[in-house]
Structure 1
Amino acid sequence: MSVAATAGSVHVRAPGKINVYLGVGGRHDDGYHALATVFQAVSLYEDVIARHADDFSLTVSGVEDVDSVPLDDRNLAMRAAKLLATATEYTGGVALEIRKSVPVAGGMGGGSADAAAALVACDALWGTGLSPARMHDLAARLGADVPFALHGGTAVGTGRGDQLNPALARGRFDWVLVTSEEGLSTPVVYERLDILRGEEGALADDPPLSLDVPIPVLQALRSGDALQLAEGLFNDLQAAAVYERPDLEDVIRRGVEAGALQGLVSGSGPTIALLCPDPETAQDVQTTLRGAGLDPLHVHGPVAGARIL
């Protein structure tokens, strides 16, 4: 049994993510889309504390609307704990406490970070000692973004986004994230993308099962060149997110005018990620946007995945 498992609780921190690049293929019969994406874990974290208990329970703090985060099996962290218990034949339960910092329904994978943190916390608390490969398999069963939250750093995701390959990223990239009180539903954004493509006559009869990330994006990450990376920022879901929330386009414009190199909708939105050339510029952009009544956060990446504190 691990040292962590002898304690009364285990505290795990997992990062939110942004999608530096997101290519989306056509919709398949199973409802899913092939993806080619580059995830980068950033310094905005979810904290999950696991304590011994006879049954499974969940509490959440750090959100204004308590009803925005379910406390039952609809919550990925709860599902992660129960999945681990089933996989390891653990007969007890766990009391999970989630302290949220990543925006809810913000396209930054906060729920996935909770799930990854819950897996790591319960594995340590219960002393189940799963291998990294087995943990990855369980994470992939919970959702496409969960394996990345487990590993962190920078990675290329293909398939449904859950087939990960680490991407070398040198140095530090500074981002200003502009969050929103009003979330966006991921299924709604994907549905809107399909509708927009259908109107443009761009729906393929047999969509490809896999896509590729452009080489210049990977080269920019490898060299640590923010200017080059700014030229490659792309999100196929952006048009759909902006259709649902036209104000997002204005936020990107304001950010660039304030000094950011470029910006994009992160994932399915509505969080906007603005890439800046250095920490000082990022702080200036943050100050300017806050003065305009927005809610900006200065973060950096890449950072590590789910870790025990």
Structure 2
Amino acid sequence: MGNDNKIELFTPKYFGACTIGGILACGPTHSAVTPLDLIKCRRQVSSALYKSNLEGLKTILKGEGIKGIFTGFGATAIGYSLQGAGKYGFYEFFKYNYSNLIGKELSEKYKTTLYLSASASAEFLADIFLCPFESIKVKTQTSIPPFANNVVDGFNKIMKSEGVYGFYKGLYPLWFRQIPYTMVKFATFERVVELIYSYLPKKKSEYSLGTQTGVSFLGGYIAGIFCAIVSHPADVMVSKINNEKSSNESTANVVKKIYGKIGFVGLWNGLPIRIVMIGTLTGLQWLIYDSFKAAVGLPTSGH
């Protein structure tokens, strides 16, 4: 890092900047794809509801209008902004501290393990922030008419009917979905970016910020494809569990019951649209995150 950078690396100000970058990367991008997410969630809960994604879009527009295709927007915006803060901020924090813990030599030798460990730790915490809003989002999106009119309405209804448990009954499946997802997202991104630069004729620092953020987008998109595949079965379960009305059963029993109904094939409902959604989403997130880092005087991600 050069002396003209505005923020010193690995200081509280640095980790704070990464946290803000995570909010900007995740909140707006997840919110923007709410229509795709809405159709995906509804098809996961009831595969017979719409014959195709296009039919789903047309049906929702016809019956509920433009407002209808953005059902769940508020909970998505809040939940994924909080998750993005934890995901990126804690990732940078854990990566730095785990590296110091094991030393530079081992950090270089076991880079992938370092990325996996740091991202898993970060996502574990980030999902605790996300889970209540994910519950509101999924219940609102998968019920017709929508379960709630807005975030506050959804919060009050869940609290009244199920208490705090209602916000966190999907936490274990969320962890099973998001932790592998984030481990793949960060580790794949880091290694793909490293691979891209290894094939380019110049060092990373010699390229313009436009080129560097372009590499970030490409690395993020490739990582997103793998993320979607790895985490999809758990994503289906999260949608199904939050759609279940009963709050008396344990999460394990509900998962067993749902699997008995849909089987292995049912765990992959909605995968094609999720690959497109997550690939684009992840690419854009890394593009926004690294653009923000560059704007405040920090180096872009990856080696």
Q: Which has the larger strand fraction?
A: 1
The TM-score with structure 2 as length reference comes to 0.24
The TM-score with structure 1 as length reference comes to 0.24
Q: Which has the larger helix fraction?
A: 2
